[in-house]
Structure 1
Amino acid sequence: MTLTGRTKTEQAYHVLRRAIVTGDLVEDLPLDDAMLSTRYGFGRTPIREALKKLADEQFINYPPHRTPYVRGIRVRDLSRLYEARHLLEEPVARLAARRATPAQLDELERICDRIDDEIAASQPYGAIEYDHQFHLEIAKSTDNPFLAEAVNRLNCGSLRIWYLAHSTLGMENTNEDHRAIQAALKEKDPDKSEALVRQHIDKSYARQMALQQLDPVIPAPSPASSPQGEPP
């Protein structure tokens, strides 16, 4: 996850993205470009360009003529986020099972290897960024750029809660689902791929509910709530 070779704007973007995901920049914090420039050592122009990209990916809110601020995660956001993942990523997996190229399948396996490396090094941030890349690569494998963009934007909203779960609950066995999904895609099995993605999303939601029991940083939904918005 090196910044070497990137432009100043790209460097600022990745530094600020990490700061938001890991909580160095807390939710609802006003992101004054002078403050960020002093804090992270980038000029105001790279900071402003980075903030525009982070707003596009919904890490921050950027109201017109006002100071941008880090987006919060609320109760309704959490349940609806997982509802959206089910509705989007399951059919994406079906398409990917039919359309993924050998090179894309190899890339998914490489990403799984990198996740294992980050877990072995006890680096939750690196692990969740590669996790994000894994789901994005599946979407890219559909050969539909609109789906890839949608999955990218949706899962940017998941990174902070993935990081919280990994940091608090640990990362043991969190990569097994990814390897199983990659194998199902390689087998060109749409039904199996879709089912494994569904199970994976449900497990992620269950980890968030377990996290709420330990440290309710996001107020937990009522017991009747489920990721798809229906009673269990």
Structure 2
Amino acid sequence: MDRALVAVLAASMLAMNGCGNGEDGSGSGRAGPSAPGTGRTAQPVITANSGLGRATGRGDPPKAQAQVGVDCRTMLGNRDFKTTAEKMGQVASGGGSEGEKAIARVCEAAAKANMRNFSGALETAQEAEEDIGAVDRSLRPEVEALLYHTAYVSAAAVGDDSAAQEALARLKQIGGDVNVYIEDACMVAPDPAALPECATVTSSPTTTGSPPVESPTPVTPGPEDSRTEPEGETTPTGSPADETSEPPDTENGDPQPTES
């Protein structure tokens, strides 16, 4: 019995030690305390919109380009950013069309940014921007949204304020809620004050949280005030109404003012 118990306990300890992420942390999509170059435990995660790889207008997009977009969206959604960067890098340097390569570079850049390789992400995003015109028009809006989201966050992270403002301007042209992009950029910027838009997301809690609940302030009626008191409202002690008014009848409806 003793030997069997020891064997069970040993097996349990081995199982516990074997649990957890891989050595490289791939697939988690989180930046832990050991993230290189930073002590922060939180960072934005750049993923593709649900429309990436789908036509936004009439006509059928090239199937190969659409497939690269769908693969990008799926892989970023799985948050295995290391594998995503590797595979999309292979597509970008492969023998596909310029449109396929441009979409792959955008996806590779986003994956690099999610691994906090912001300088590499910005460089890859800038390369992708040069060929973005090769992407089919029906697919381009979603690809550009991912491209400039990545470029904006990466430029903010490396302190390239000029490139960050250019990317933000493009995001505004595309449309949508730019506050989401601004929050991401300000989260990684070494000096958020260098980005004027960060003031809109780092203001006092009263502008972003729930409004405070205000307590009603009792009003002391003057001699000339003959208004009817609402049911359940208490007249302040010491007011003239204490000497002339009867307690409100809460069972028979609203109280009636007392004749002077």
Structure with greater proportional helix content: 1
TM-score between both structures, scaled by the size of structure 2: 0.24
- Higher Cα Rg, which structure: 2
